[in-house]
Structure formats: structure tokens, C-alpha cells
Structure 1
Amino acid sequence: MFDVGLMELALIAFVAIIAFGPDRLPVLAKQAGVMIRKAKAMANSARDELREELGPDYADLQLRDLDPRNIVRRHIIEAMEDPDPGPPTGGAVLLEGQLPPYDVDAT
């Protein structure tokens, strides 16, 4: 998710030890853990409230399903998997060599 490797984590830990000192580092790590737990609880609460308000049709809703990138990706994959629908309905099929009608007012 963040593309942080072992070397980057080691560098971050080294800078944290130098900046904050070994005495304050456990306290800061504990505070960071508490903040992460609170953020996760808030996200779960928002998800549960959204599920409750949308009704039983969306009981399996995940917050990542609301990401616009995932929505577009899912629709593109569905469109690519659909069989060829054939010519569009509602219009006349042109014969070979026949030109489509030209509307002067439309241009």
C-alpha cells in the first residue's frame, strides 16, 4: 500500500531515535497505536452506519467498493466480458456502400 521496504523502515526508526530519544519513543509509539485504533473504529462505524441506512441490499458493502477507481475498473471488466451485443437497436441498418443520413441542422 505504501511501498515501504525494510531499509526505509530502518531509516525512519533511526531518525526517530535520534529526534525523540530512546526515552520518549515508546510513549510516542503507544500514542500512534491508540490513534490508529481510533481511526479504524471510526471507519468501521461509518461503514456500519452506511450499511444500515442503505438497507439489506447493501449488507456486504465494503468502503473500498466506493472508490471511484474500483467502480470504473469493475464496469470496464464487466463490459469487456459481455458478449458482442450486435448492432444498436433503434436505427436503420445501412446496406453496404450506403451513406448514413446527413443532418444539416446538426452541424
Structure 2
Amino acid sequence: MFNDIGALELVTLVVLAVLIFGPDKLPKVIQDVSGFIRKIRAFSDSAKKDIREELGPEFKDFEFEDLNPKTFIRKQLDGDELGLKEIRNGFDLRKEMADVTDAVNGHESESASGAASGPSLTKGGGTDLQKKPQPPAKDERPPFDADAT
């Protein structure tokens, strides 16, 4: 329940409890709090039991932790019936990002060179097979298009 509380935080809580309630009333407060937590747990367990009984026998294996989206997805993808691991392993994000970056900067990548080698139409209506976009010089800024932003 309190997995992320360290020793220093625990000591601080104990000192605060002693200062607030005093050493005389502290055992009674601890008993009251622990009894309250037991009642809440019993109420929660009975509510879960009632819900399982109302759902019927087909939901016998139903766990309320499955309602958490992360747990539900992790449980569903353990079988990997859709082949998602194969897709994930076959997808090279760095190569795809490099292709997109090259396309944005006007460079031609290796994978796009075959697709871009076909004739392209120019403004005059003819084809231009030899013209390739030149990369900007080192100190030169790329052209700015106000309509694109």
C-alpha cells in the first residue's frame, strides 16, 4: 500500500503523530485508524463479491484490476494473436524519421530514390528528368513560406 514511503518519511510521520496526538492518545488513535481500514476493506470485499454474484457464472474469472486500461491491454496482448511484436520489430523508427527529415529538407533518401526517379512535371507542362533540388549552402537559410505556417 505504501511502497514509495522511505525510512525518513516514516520517521517524520511517527514524530508528527506523537506531536499531534501525544504519547498517551497515540495507541488509541492507531487502533481506531486500523479498525476503520479493516471496515473499509470488508465493505470493499463484500461489494466485489456482490458484483461477481450479480454478473453470473460467465464472469467468474473477472478481476477488478482488469478495469485499469494498462492492465487490460497488457493482458490482451500477452497472446500476441495480432502479430504486433513482429510489426514492432519490423518497423525502424529511426529510418522512417530520417526519410521524413530528408523529404522535408529536400534531400533524396535511398528508399525514396527509386520512387522519385520517374519523370516530374514542371510548370511549363514538360518533363524534367535531370533537375534535382539542391541542398541549401551551409550559412543559407531555407526558403520561408508564410502560407505553410
TM bucket, shorter chain = 0.5 to 0.7
Structure 2-normalised TM-score?
0.49
Q: Which residue of 2 aligns with 1:52?
A: 53
Q: Which residue of 2 aligns with 1:19?
A: 20
Decide whether aligned partners of structure 1 residues 83 and 67 sit closer, same or farther in structure 2, where only a CA change above 3 A counts.
Answer: closer
User: Percent of counterpart pairs with the same letter?
Assistant: 36
- How big is the alpha-carbon RMSD for the aligned residues of Structure 1 and Structure 2? 2.3
1:28 aligns with 2:37: no
2-structure distance, mates of 1:30, 1:24: 10
Q: Deviation string for 1:69-102 (max 9, x for gaps)?
A: 3223333444xx22549xxxxxxxxxxx9xxxxx
| Structure 1: stretches of 5+ with no match in the other structure | 86-96, 98-107
Q: Deviation string for 1:28-68 (max 9, x for gaps)?
A: 10110111101101110111011101111222323222223
Between Structure 1 and Structure 2, how many residues are aligned? 84
- Contact 1:47/1:62 (8 A) holds in 2: no
Matches within 5 A, 1:76-87: 76-78=77-79, 81-82=80-81, 84=83
SS of alignment partner, residue 60 of structure 1:
coil
List, as ranges, runs of 4+ consecutive aligned residues in structure 1 with deviation greater than 3 Å.
Answer: 75-78
**Structure with max Cα Rg:** 2
Structure 1-normalised TM-score?
0.66
Bigger helix fraction: 1
